[in-house]
Structures are given as C-alpha cells and as structure tokens.
Structure 1
C-alpha cells in the first residue's frame, strides 16, 4: 500500500502551508511525504511512534519553514535533541514546522492528538510546561523554560496537526502568536481538502493528469519514489523542492500547474504553447544556475541545451545527486521537459526521445 500512500501524501502536499503563507520572511525550508509511522517519527518525537502504529496512521506530510537559509529546518525535531540545541545557539532563527497526519475517523484523530501530546510532553516531563493558545483552546501545547520553541498538537476532523515553532528569544508571546498563525493558515487549507478513507487511498489515480506516462523514463523504473518518481501540483512541488518557490514569479507567469519527475526527466505543464516556449528558454537556468549554452540537437533546433558548469560535479566528496553534465529543455505544445546525460550526444538522444514521446501522446 505504500505507493498509494505516497500518492495520497503528494495530494496533501498541495494543501500544506508554505512558509511565506505564515510569514513573508519564511522563504527557506523543506517538505517530505510521510507514508508510515517510521517516516513520520523522523520529524516527530520518537515517543509518538507507538501511538501512530496503534491507531493506523494512513499518510501525512511534514513541512518546515524558516527565515534563515543556512538553518537546517528538520534537525529541529520535536524532541529538542542536542543537534537542534547546538544549531539554535550557532544560528538563531525563527521557524515553523507543520506535520499533518490523516486517520480513519474523527474519533481516532481526537484520541491520537491527545496521546501524541502526552507522549511528547513525557519526553521531558520534569522540564516541560503546559501552554494555552487562546484562539485554539483544544490544542495541547508545551514548551521548556529557556528554549525558544513550542510544540502543539490539535485534531481537526480526521486530521492531526503537530506544530513545532521557534523564535530567536525565549518569548512566550511570540511563540503563541507564531503557533496560532501556523494553525490558522494550515487549517484554512485543510478545510478545502476532503480526507480519504483507506479505500479512497487505494483508488487514487497514480498519474491523475497523465504526466508520468508522457515523461521519458531513462531508467525504465516505474517504482514509487518520493524523490525520483512523482507528480505534484505547483504548491506541492514547492513543498518538495522549496528552492523552486524562489522562481514562483516565472512559474506563475507561464501558468505552470503540474510538475513531474520520472527517474531523471522533469516535465512541466504550462498554460499554453506560448507559455511553454517562454519556460523552455528559462527552465535550465532555474534548475542549474551555473551553466553555459551547448549545441541543440540537429533535428530539434528549438530545443535549448546547456552544460552544467557547477564545480561540485568534479568533487567526488560532494553529493550532487543524479545531476548530469548536460541538460536539454524540450518543448512540445504546452509541455516542457528537461532531460540530462553525462555526454552531449546522449542528451540529444534523450531530447529526441522525449519529443517523440510527447508528440505520440497527442498532448494538448
């Protein structure tokens, strides 16, 4: 069922609050799909895992945002461990981490919220202090004296929300205000998204707009992957690739509404053909800021290609993921795809194959 849960989590991503929805300075961060109690407790207190397992957590999403680019948002887990404490001392930042989990019914969510809050509180029961949020009296919140963070749990229908917010100084008024703003922003989005039953999750189409079938799959691997095989709407894409939110003005201009990755190929759907042409000429610069123009494929003169000149590609000690040396942006009607390869000839071949795949799909 994990692949279905990943599809459900990606659907939820489009209804998660971006940091800038909460505070204009929260421009940096990250997001991640949650498909099991094990993955959820990578971002929640480890003590909550048994609660999630006992109550059949269905899926969820974790989203963190901060005003400091160098601040590792997810090292500040709910447990306030040593790593988080060291980071807060080295680089003071304001942040809001929001985790949303869905359960089978309202009663289960209500029980889970209370049990999660108690488990989290008991991690440091002698130090934690209960806190009330005036505008959210049903939320269970706590903090530690001297640590400028606050944790809070609230059931909202079949959803359970967990907040972990932080400010620069140990100020309860600032923490309360940030927590309430985070709740208000997130709940307004969840109210527009109907929850799913276990049967609904299994019936979700894995490729709702036919993007994955139109994207070249160079590895010929159709396995579910949060990082390599997914399709997301624009807000969901920003959740999973927060740096791309910095280019929202361009994506908004061209009406980009669906983003897909297929084991090395990225595909974007725009408003119309003219918009796709605009994005084709800019998209490599958005993905790889350090690049220089390279030859286009002879049979596809309108395709834009580039050589990645990032020096880190030559450093064997730096993890650059799957990033390749050459990239080509292929446009067909309202779609733009980016293919990659270590050799320019291979990049050209993949560009031609991608163009043919789009053309044969008769996209509009």
Structure 2
C-alpha cells in the first residue's frame, strides 16, 4: 500500500501484476511428476521424421476453413502422421504407395465430416506429403494418380479449372472425387466423399478447389528442416512439452509420441472445435499434447479467453460439473463428467484450468486419478 501511495496520483503502471508465489505443498499429485522433462533432439531417423510431420501439421488446412459445415473430426481414417502407406489407411486404395512415394520425408493427414447422420454426411480428407524436392513431388503425384486408374479402370480423369496441373479422378455414378496436386516439394491429396449420394461433379470440383485455395498458400509459409539437420531436430523447441504431463510408455505405444505445436496440428487431439478463432483470441504461441493438453498464451488475458472457450456452457447437456482438486489457488479450476451415451459404461471426466499465461486440460476416468493428474499439471505450470 505504501508503494501504491508513493507512485499513485492517478498514474498507471504498464504491465501485468506480479502473481504471488503459489503454495504447492498441499497438492495431492500421486505418482505423477511435477518437475519439467527435457526432450532434447530426435533419437533416430523415424523420430526425426515423426517430429517433422508434426511441424508440417501446423500448416495443413482443416476442411472447416473452407466450409464451416465440417464440424466433426473423424478417427480411424489415417494419420495424423504419415511415414508410409499404413498411415493413409483406407484413403489410398492402390497398393503401390510405398514404392511410388519411397522418398517420402513426412506427411500429415486428417478427415473431417459434416454433422448429422453418417449416411447423409459429407467427408473431406486432406493429406500433405513432403519430399526432398519439387521434381520428386511432381513425379509422385503423377505416379499415384496413374495407379489409381490402373487399380480401377472405371475411373475417369477430371480437370480442376483453377488448378490445371492437378491430377484428379472420379467414377461416374459415385459421389467421390480424389485429387493429387504437387506444389514445390509437397503433394496434397484431397478426397471428397458425399455419403448421401447427391453431389454432382461440379460441386465436388468446387469443394476440392476451395480447400486447395487455403492449403497451397500455407505450404509457402512452412520452413522445412534442412535435410542435413533433420536427425538433430528439436522435439520441444518452445519448451511446452517440458511443462506438460508426459505420456506413459503404454500410451506412446498405442497413440504415438508427445507432440509440440503452434497451431492447426494440435487440433487432431482436441474436440468441440468449430473454428480457429480461439488461436487469435487466446494469443496462442505454443501447444503441448501429451498426457494432458497445455497451451501457452502471450498474456494472462489470453489464457483466460482459452479457459472460457473450452469450458462447457452452463446449459450444456453433454457434461455436468464435479468436485475439483484441493490446493489449487484462485478458483481457476473447473472439472466435469461427460454425460453422453457413449460414456455410460466407461466414465470420462476432465478438468480445465488456467494459471498465469497457461491453459490446461486434463482427462481421467477415475476422480481421484483425475485430481492427482490435474494437481501435478498445475504444479508444473505454477512454479
């Protein structure tokens, strides 16, 4: 109060208030770590390629950017990281992918769908594959399109008027369009599929071109890691994974390594996303995906905006508030239990909180475990 009186007289001091040092002694963190983990550089070539795919993922467009009707992220459709044919799953039907794309450095793929019933929905898949140079990318795009024709001789070529160098095809009577587009050292594969069976060819072409309109400029912004430096690529360049609860070895074996992102790439693991506005409103600078989700904002106000964005609405029918862990100061933690039918036999709970410039989300099936994980995550961020 003395300092305020001396410096007062209506003056305003710029900057943010200094937060009091939190008391972490009363937190129940169970066996979860509360000290940052150093990730270092890639251990081998596969780890380096996986990390490069994550970097690329921030520059792969989401179908909802071309059409906000694509509100549902589909699982089990491939990727998101692409290192070989297996990661493309059912999106590529020919069996020559690994041969034609043998020089693949890394890729990223995802599929989104419109809402409503599955059999009346529209699905849009997009994959971006990166190669050593533009000549290789062009050769791969040509080769994969050729093999789509040899695999099914009923396919017919389709011209994309806005992108005449693209290679596209469809099968008359089937409301699906596939295309391969080379751009510098990248190949973009887009597959549009209307499960209602109503789409006409011009509409399928228009939707493909609309997504390419967004995707190709994004690739001009991406800076690949130079080939000679790839095996030394940093796994956590923004020091965000260090502050995120680490994945267990079991989880790594089933879902892949933890990931550090700065934007779009992280959305493969987030639900309830309808647009990308929260990136700007939340002033997001880094995202860590491991056992928990952590987002770093450029300001405390941005972190608060993220909390408000991801917090369920008060009239939500999909979740209900539950008790929060003790010892987290400031009243900034909110916990919920999901009420959807799919979770009736396997409980699903989560906690959200913000502290300083950070927002975090933690998942857990059992309440005690969820509270311990949330407390450990808070300890990592509040130190």
- Shorter chain as denominator, the TM-score bin is 0.7 to 0.9
Q: Which moved more, 1:246-255 or 1:152-161?
A: 246-255
TM-score (norm 2): 0.75
Q: Return the alpha-carbon distance in structure 2 between the equivalents of residues 134 and 341 of structure 1.
A: 49
1:334 positional shift: 0.3
Task: Encode CA deviations 1:204-242: one digit per residue, 9 max, x unaligned.
Answer: 21112111111123737895875662222232222x146
Contact 2:325–2:371 at 8 Å: present in 1 too? yes
Q: Which residue of the other structure, out of 64, 67, 86, is the alignment partner of 1:23?
A: 67
Q: Match for residue 111 of structure 1?
A: 139
Segments of structure 1 that go 5 or more residues without pairing to the other structure are: 72-90
**5 Å matches for 1:199-210?**
199-210=228-239
Q: Return the alpha-carbon distance in structure 2 between the equivalents of residues 136 and 4 of structure 1.
A: 32
Task: Encode CA deviations 1:46-82: one digit per residue, 9 max, x unaligned.
Answer: 32324345x32111111323333544xxxxxxxxxxx
Q: Return the alpha-carbon distance in structure 2 between the equivalents of residues 94 and 299 of structure 1.
A: 44
1:352 positional shift: 3.4
Task: Encode CA deviations 1:28-57: one digit per residue, 9 max, x unaligned.
Answer: 33472212232135422232324345x321
TM-score (norm 1): 0.78
Q: Match for residue 85 of structure 1?
A: none
When Rg is computed on C-alpha atoms for both structures, the one with the higher figure is: 2
**5 Å matches for 1:1-364?**
1-30=45-74, 32-52=80-100, 55-71=102-118, 91-125=119-153, 127-167=154-194, 168-169=197-198, 171-217=200-246, 219=248, 229-238=258-267, 240-241=268-269, 243-246=271-274, 248-250=276-278, 252-263=280-291, 265-280=292-307, 283-285=310-312, 289-298=318-327, 300=329, 302-310=331-339, 312-315=342-345, 323=348, 325=349, 327-360=350-383
Higher relative contact order (CA 8 A, sep 6+): 2
Residues 182 and 254 of structure 1, relative CA distance in 2, 3 Å threshold:
closer
- Corresponding pairs, count: 330
Contact 2:94–2:151 at 8 Å: present in 1 too? no
1:196 positional shift: 4.1
Contact 1:280–1:336 at 8 Å: present in 2 too? yes
Cα RMSD (Å): 3.1
Residues 176 and 35 of structure 1, relative CA distance in 2, 3 Å threshold:
same
